[in-house]
Amino acid sequence: TIHTLQGSEKSVIIMSAALSIKTGKKTMDWINNNHELINVAVTRAKEKFIFVGDKEAIDKLSGEQSDIKILSDYVHSKGEVVVPKSEAVIVYDFSNDSKNEKDFFETVQPYFNRRGSKFKVERNVPLKQAIKGIKKEDLFLFGRKEFDVIVKVLVRSRLRRAFYRTIVAFEIDGGEHIGSQKAASLDRQKEEVCRLYGIKLIRIPNSAVKDYVAIISLFETATRGLKDFDKVYSQMSLFGED
């Protein structure tokens, strides 16, 4: 911290304003009432002083006579300003394997686990694995995409061995889906491939990934009347076996 620098010098001093647009008034008052801290930080540098801060936040939160604003303005006008590139990586075609996806999976797992072998619920499933028998031309058209979470139902038939068929795909929608034409285009492609192969696509916003009742209600509403599903569904209720 700045306090530990009193009485010593360093070749390079890096000072962080530690402020954002959400910083509260009490924190700003504390900074504005501690002039000596900024003085110590600036005067301890022998060769180079680096100031890290959000100028927009400082300008908005600080008064014209605020030491932190005066320092920010001085560095901005006299020094070299570097704006780092964002480290955020948005993956459109494949799952981000985010915490929200993990939370969602953990939320819905108990519902399907209680139903034994009737269902399979899987995460981050490529299109080719989610839709068995997908046509080559459709796979080429829609590309190598993944569904965040899929639900498969066990189908029994007199003509063939029992098998699992994907009936629902869940997509967890975060901020990358807002205002992005590329994300919107890829979302429409997933909607189209689901329509072609009789899969119900349910979109869940990040804010609802732990809302068990809402998610299961959406699932049960979406799957009513689906082929190969009515017999299984008739034995289930919202919270367990009837």
Quick check: is 239 in a domain? no
105 and 23 fall within a common domain:
no
DSSP state of 61: H
Quick check: is 86 in a domain? no
Quick check: is 148 in a domain? yes
Segment among 28-42, 46-60, 90-104, 171-185 with least mean pLDDT: 90-104
105 and 162 fall within a common domain:
yes
Query: pLDDT grade, residue 158 (50/70/90)?
Result: low
115 and 186 fall within a common domain:
yes
Tens digit of each residue's pLDDT (9 = 90 or more) over 190-227? 888 888 998 999 998 888 899 999 999 988 888 876 65
Quick check: is 68 in a domain? yes
Segment among 40-49, 81-90, 109-118 with least mean pLDDT: 81-90
Looking at the chain, the number of H-run helices and the number of E-run strands are 10, 6
Query: pLDDT grade, residue 169 (50/70/90)?
Result: very high
DSSP state of 242: -
- In CATH, what number is assigned to the domain containing residue 177? 3.40.1350
Per-residue model confidence (pLDDT) at position 45:
83
214 and 115 fall within a common domain:
yes
222 and 154 fall within a common domain:
yes
Q: What domain range includes position 7? A: 2-78
71 and 174 fall within a common domain:
no
**What global pTM score does this model have?**
0.53
Structural domains of the chain, count: 2
Under a CB-based contact definition with an 8 Å cutoff, are residues 168 and 199 in contact? yes
107 and 144 fall within a common domain:
yes
Query: Where is mean pLDDT largest: 15-19, 79-83, 105-109, 232-236?
Result: 105-109
SS3 90: coil
Under 8 Å CB-to-CB from 66, ≥6 apart: which residues?
31, 32
Quick check: is 87 in a domain? no
* pLDDT at residue 90 tops 50: no
Quick check: is 30 in a domain? yes
Tens digit of each residue's pLDDT (9 = 90 or more) over 17-55? 877 777 778 888 887 777 777 888 888 888 888 988 888
